[in-house]
Structure 1
Amino acid sequence: MKFVNYVRNPIRDSPINTAFARVFLAFYFFWKTVWYDWRQLYDIPLVLYEGYAVLIPPSPTIMVAEKYLLLITLTAFAVGYRLRLSSLVSAVIVGHMGVVRYVYNTSGGTTALFIGMYMLVFFGLYRHRDRLSVDAIRSAGSGSPASLVDRLTGSVSDSFRADALRWSLLVVGIIYFGSGFAKVVNGPVAWVAPENLSRTLLLFDSFMPGSNPLAEPLLGYPVLVTLAAIGTLVLELGLLITLLAGVGVTTVVLGLYGFHVGIWLSLDIVFFDSIMFLGLFFSWDRVYAALASDRELTLVFDEHCLFCARSLLPFKLLDVNERITFHTQSTVPERYRELDDVDFENAMYVFDEDDRPYAGYHAFRELLRQSKLFAPLVFLTGLSPVSRVGTRVYRYIADNRSQHFACAFNQQNELES
């Protein structure tokens, strides 16, 4: 289990971590938004911060409309479509929702919205670094056709910068450091004194008896209470220090997870948002590589079709173990040309290690089968109704690609000549 210090080095050998974090962040805001009842919030008679009350719309209907607009923009953000716009609009709405909620509720679940808002901004600012997005696939067609074919048939030797994760991690480090620094400024000796934390443990255990299994045992051991307080300071201050020092952060992050579990068991306070944010910086690309198949595949595609080449680019980037060999129709090995019932002009083909051919829709399904991560999707696409529809959709696209789907390699070559 390893977490990445992106502040030290934001460069990875695949774009998977950035893509995963984008989808993960969108899911987080979905979870924070979809169930929230803004009409019920307006029934609360107490306003904690009058200064922010001016930002509250006069009707909860406006907040409900914002909620559904956010769900739409988050969907676009999750797939990486129009990231500059979708990330900015999502960040503005999240920020406004956070302010409105803060007027009534100052809990950590509310303030966490502002941390996530910064992350949305960073993904928008560094959208050009996100190579596994719809925007990246669309922009791949803006270069020369030959360069796109070369990217598919060559080796993936690029390095991928995760700048959005770099600055997001720095924000998380600053937040933790601020919490620890406030404890130091207010008196570190008093904070680590056993009676300080013991008083808090006793208070929570009195109000919620039975929900804090660690509270009573800790109260009997002042030394453990003191060590817990010292550990809190070390972990909260330590994340930012290790980030800036350029050393590994795995130990500190795992310590913070343990710290949050300890708070849950002793005070019954769950910092779910912090746990989610820390998970963004796990080395998910290593997990994906472990789930990737070692099966060798050979793929043959139409080099004259821009739509075909662009649609295959994500599979090239996801082939982290380089087990897929890409060939154009003009460079396909002879042994595949001699196979019966293979028509390269009619469909894209994937050949497995036994030279078994899979055409069109089924070829894409074999590409998905290269990673256990896509096992649910492979199962779904194998169901008879889905397979029949998918085969017809592929056939329609293949038959009409030169008319509707920007198969413009030949046209561009003619213009260049």
Structure 2
Amino acid sequence: MTGGLGTALETFDRWVARGDFTLEGLGRFRVLFATYALLRLPNFAWASSFPDALYAPPPGLMTLFDGFPPSAVLTGLELLLAVALMAVLVGWRTRPASLVVTAVLVLGHGFTYSLGKIDHAILFFLLPAFLAFAGWDGAWSVDAARERASRTVRHWVLRAYALTVGIAMATAALPKARGGWLSPDSHAVWSQLLIDQQVRQVDTVLGARLVQLDVPVLWEVVDWLTVGLEGVLIVSVLWWPLFRLVLAGLALFHLGVLLTLDIAFVGNLLAYGAFVRWDRVSLPAAGVRARVRPRLRRVPEVAMALAVTVSGIGWYLLPDVPHVGGVLRYGVTWTGAGVGAWYLARQAHRAVRAVGRSTRPAASDA
């Protein structure tokens, strides 16, 4: 019995530590994540203008508070977030800065969500905390230049985050399955599209055209695909190639949702981005990095802290860039769909070639 348990644990250990991620790829993704987050700094302070009588926190941490904090406190959280994100961007004290980013995002949005409207962005909020321990400080960072960063990728952390993403998507699939989405008598997606077009007057690229397609079989297939994609992700965590295939399908799915229902899942797409092999993208930066690394080692710690703090506060004080939200909304969604389509096409090409090789007659048979 003990031997069997030991073998099972060894198998689990090998599985959870298996992966092909690199410090280079995680470092590049860290820069992408921090850049996006700095361009989309949240506003928490507006929640302080509401009376405490309207404070209705969701279950969890926010129930420890009796009401909304003063505006100065929420503004302080915004400033702290900007500074922490700047530290994550340059990779200075990356791990504590990443944990601060997650803590501030959860706390700040916890107050804004306590008014009743909740945006399901928890995967985006948790991402820095997970990747802080996965090794995204190991490249493209001040910490790496000073040789105090991660030297190996902790694949088990990425596996844990993948499981978190899978569970989150499963919680979206299960209510749909129980609510009748799989019933041939109901067409949930078409019904939602009909409401958006006829009642809410939502103007989307494809909505007005697709709502006219009275094809029950088509809409039932869409319902099943929606539930299937969201539900199968948690199972695909068992094997990285399958997990990435499902993520690629979800990226295309999110583009379709944006173009038909005007609902963007940018936070989800960024969460999927953590599992992309960014190190395979060619960048002509090796020479620049070789020259910069020695200089970063010579910068005093106090000077680096001051530079990060001033840069973060300065960025926070800059006026908002007009329309940046809309540009990023569509830009990230289209980019995610493009990466997903490329990955699916690449895997399909490999599969076709593999089948061709297996069916080709051997030379001795000719």
The residue aligned with 1:61 is: 72
In 2 relative to 1, CA 77–37 (structure 1 residues): closer, same or farther, beyond 3 Å? Answer: closer
Cα offset, 1:130, TM superposition: 2.5
Matches within 5 A, 1:366-405: none
Which of the two has higher C-alpha Rg?
Answer: 1
Contact 2:19 2:240 in 1 (8 A): no
Stretch of structure 1 that moved more, 20-29 or 234-243 = 20-29
Aligned to 1:271: 265
Query: Cα distance, 1:70 vs. partner?
Result: 1.1
Q: 2:105 aligns with which of 94, 97, 100?
A: 94
Give the share of equivalent positions with the same residue, in percent.
24
CA distance in 2, matches of 1:139, 1:237: 42
**CA 1:234–1:104: 2 relative to 1, 3 Å:** same
Contact 1:197–1:229 under 8 Å retained in 2: yes
Structure 1: 5+ residue runs without aligned partners? 1-5, 142-157, 301-305, 312-417
Instruction: Identify the residue that residue 124 of structure 2 maps to in structure 1.
Output: 116
In 2, Cα distance between equivalents of 1:271 and 1:253: 13
| More RCO (CA 8 Å, sep 6+) | 2
Instruction: Identify if the C-alpha distance between structure 1 residues 78 and 216 changes in structure 2 by more than 3 Å, giving closer, same or farther.
Output: same
1:106 aligned partner, one-letter code: K
- 1:135 is displaced (CA, Å) by 2.3
Mind listing any 5+ residue stretches in structure 2 that lack a counterpart? 1-14, 299-366
> Given the alignment of the two structures, is residue 167 of structure 1 paired with residue 174 of structure 2, yes or no?
no
SS in 2 for 1:248: helix
Q: Report the alpha carbon displacement of residue 238 of structure 1 after superposing the two structures with TM.
A: 2.0
2:96 to 63, 72, 85: 85
TM-fit CA distance, 1:21: 2.1
The 5-angstrom pairing of residues 177-192 of structure 1 reads 177-190=170-183
Task: Report the Cα offset of residue 236 of structure 1.
Answer: 0.6
**TM-score for both structures, normalised by structure 2:** 0.63
Bigger proportion of residues as strand: 1
Q: 1:19 aligns with which of 27, 30, 45?
A: 27
* Structure 1 pair 251–32 and aligned structure 2 pair: CA distance change class (3 A): same
Question: For residue 239 of structure 1, what is the aligned residue in structure 2?
Answer: 233
Q: For 1:161 and 1:243, how far apart are their aligned partners in 2?
A: 16
Which of 192, 195, 198 is the aligned partner of 1:203?
195
Change (3 A) 1:274 1:48: farther
Residue 75 to residue 200, structure 1, CA distance change in 2 (3 Å)? same
Q: Is the 8 A contact 2:163 2:237 kept in 1?
A: yes
RMSD: 3.6
Q: Secondary structure at the match of 1:170?
A: helix
Evaluate the alpha carbon distance shift between residue 31 and residue 172 of structure 1 in structure 2; reply closer, same or farther with a 3 A threshold. farther
* Aligned equivalent of 1:40, options 37, 42, 46: 46
How big is each residue's C-alpha offset from its partner over 1:146-193, in whole Å with a ceiling of 9 and x where there is no partner?
Answer: xxxxxxxxxxxx974455544333322221122112222344533x64
Please say if residues 38 and 64 of structure 1, whose CA atoms lie closer than 8 Å, have aligned partners that are also in contact.
yes
Shift, 1:105, TM fit: 5.0
Instruction: Number of aligned residue pairs: give it.
Output: 274
Alignment TM-score, normalising by the size of structure 1: 0.56
Deviation at 1:200, TM superposition (A): 1.6
SS at match of 2:126: helix
Q: State whether structure 2 residue 234 is matched by structure 1 residue 228.
A: no
The aligned residue for residue 352 of structure 2 is none
Work out whether residues 11 and 159 of structure 1, in 8 Å CA contact, stay in contact via their aligned partners in 2: no
Distance 1:258 1:128 in 2: 26
Is the Cα–Cα contact under 8 Å of residues 166 and 234 in structure 2 kept in the other structure? yes
Shift of residue 38 of structure 1?
3.5
Which protein is richer in helix relative to its size?
2
d(CA) in 2 for partners of 1:140 and 1:8? 22
More divergent stretch after superposition (243-252 vs 232-241): 243-252
Residues 10 and 162 in structure 1, CA contact (< 8 A), matched pair in contact too: yes
Provide the secondary structure at the position in 1 that maps to 2:263: coil
- How far apart, in 2, do the equivalents of 1:83 and 1:159 lie? 15
* Residue 215 of structure 1: how far off its partner (Å): 4.9
CA contact (8 A) 2:193 2:207 kept: no
